[in-house]
Amino acid sequence: MRIRTTERDHEFTQRLFNKLNLFSIQGLTLNAKKEFSAAIEAIQYEDHEEVQLENIFPLTEAKARYYLAKTLKIPFYYVIYQSSEFRVYEIEISENFQSKQVEVLNEKAFVEWWARLKGLNQPKALMEAAERVKSSIFDITLEKHNMAWGGNIDGFMFRNKEFACIIENIYTQKNPLESPMGEPSYYFHMRGPNYNTWFPTVKLASYLNVPLFLFTIEGNNNKERIGFAVIDHLSTLGIYYKGNKPNKNILEGLEHIMETINANLNNKPPKII
């Protein structure tokens, strides 16, 4: 079994997210009207493996994702690939885990289903795609048809059974956290993340009426330090922060980071201008 994920294998990030009780979701799609259309997790199985949907994720994680989807009034899907077919299950969790198979798709039908989900035109004709060793079958299939998976949400937090904040993680490999090139607004009009990259995350925080926090993290070590910023607004001109940019606001030590996050939970949600 291989779960599709864009998450890095980064020890400090995992410890921080565990401490903060943060949840993530790997697929949050927007349709052509820029409305949320589905929450999705995707899992690839070998032909001989037994598929047990209720055991893929801990129940607490699955329940958090289902509650997010329910709040957004969209379906929560597990997409399973096995034996050259894509099976789509709608997931519901009240007290217990429940699943209902809603689609069984070959490659062509899967791409068409994905296009409908995102409100796209009919996918283009099948094209050759370069092998990407680390890509999942889902990404490979979509790329062959000139399509892409779309966005994910790095982290969302609950406090007292209510949404408390959304987290965006951005790693820097070469540039120190303190440098101007160690924070993402510098790249907005270059290689990104750009307006379209930021839009789903900002829209989600705005919809949930919670603050959006940016963590910049050094991907080449596991030091307990992050650049921290609260997102104020997004426009076609850039991404803007409340107060200091993250390269001017470095937090060190796990406890200090946690205290700062908790102290900022009363911030207002970001806007899209």
SS (H, E, C) 67-89: HHHHHHCCCEEEEEEECCEEEEE
Return the H-helix or E-strand segment holding 254. helix 254-263
Please report whether residue 17 resides in a domain: no
Residue 103 pLDDT more than 60? yes
Same domain? For 92 and 114 the reply is yes
Helices (H) and strands (E) in the chain, counts: 6, 14
The answer to whether residues 115 and 121 touch, using CB atoms and an 8 Å cutoff, is yes
Please report whether residue 215 resides in a domain: yes
Same domain? For 158 and 210 the reply is yes
Residue 273 pLDDT more than 90? yes
Please report whether residue 14 resides in a domain: no
Same domain? For 123 and 197 the reply is no
Q: What angle do CA 130, 131, 135 make, to 5 degrees?
A: 120
Please report whether residue 16 resides in a domain: no
Domain boundary among 124, 144, 164: 144
pLDDT in tens, 186-199: 999 998 889 999 99
Nearest partner of 124 among 140, 132, 112, judged by Cα? 112
The answer to whether residues 250 and 178 touch, using CB atoms and an 8 Å cutoff, is yes
pLDDT in tens, 131-147: 333 578 999 999 999 88
Number of domains in the chain: 2
Neighbours of 191 (CB within 10 A): 7
Please report whether residue 45 resides in a domain: yes
CA distance 43 to 55: 12
Find the domain containing 173 and state its range. 153-272
CA distance 266 to 271: 15
Among 72-76, 163-167, 177-181, where is mean pLDDT lowest?
177-181
The answer to whether residues 23 and 64 touch, using CB atoms and an 8 Å cutoff, is yes
Please report whether residue 209 resides in a domain: yes
Neighbours of 127 (CB within 10 A): 9
Banded pLDDT at 128 (limits 50, 70, 90): very low
Please report whether residue 117 resides in a domain: yes
pLDDT in tens, 24-44: 999 999 999 999 999 999 999
Same domain? For 140 and 162 the reply is no
pLDDT in tens, 252-268: 999 999 999 999 999 99
Same domain? For 238 and 166 the reply is yes
Residue 244 pLDDT more than 90? yes
Q: In 227-236, which positions are buried (b, 16+ CB within 10 angstroms) versus exposed (e)?
A: bbbbbbbbee
Residue 105 pLDDT more than 80? yes
Domain boundary among 127, 144, 161: 144
Given this model, what pLDDT does residue 95 score? 82
Residue 130 pLDDT more than 80? no
Domain boundary among 106, 125, 144: 144
Please give the model's pTM, rounded to 2 decimal places: 0.91
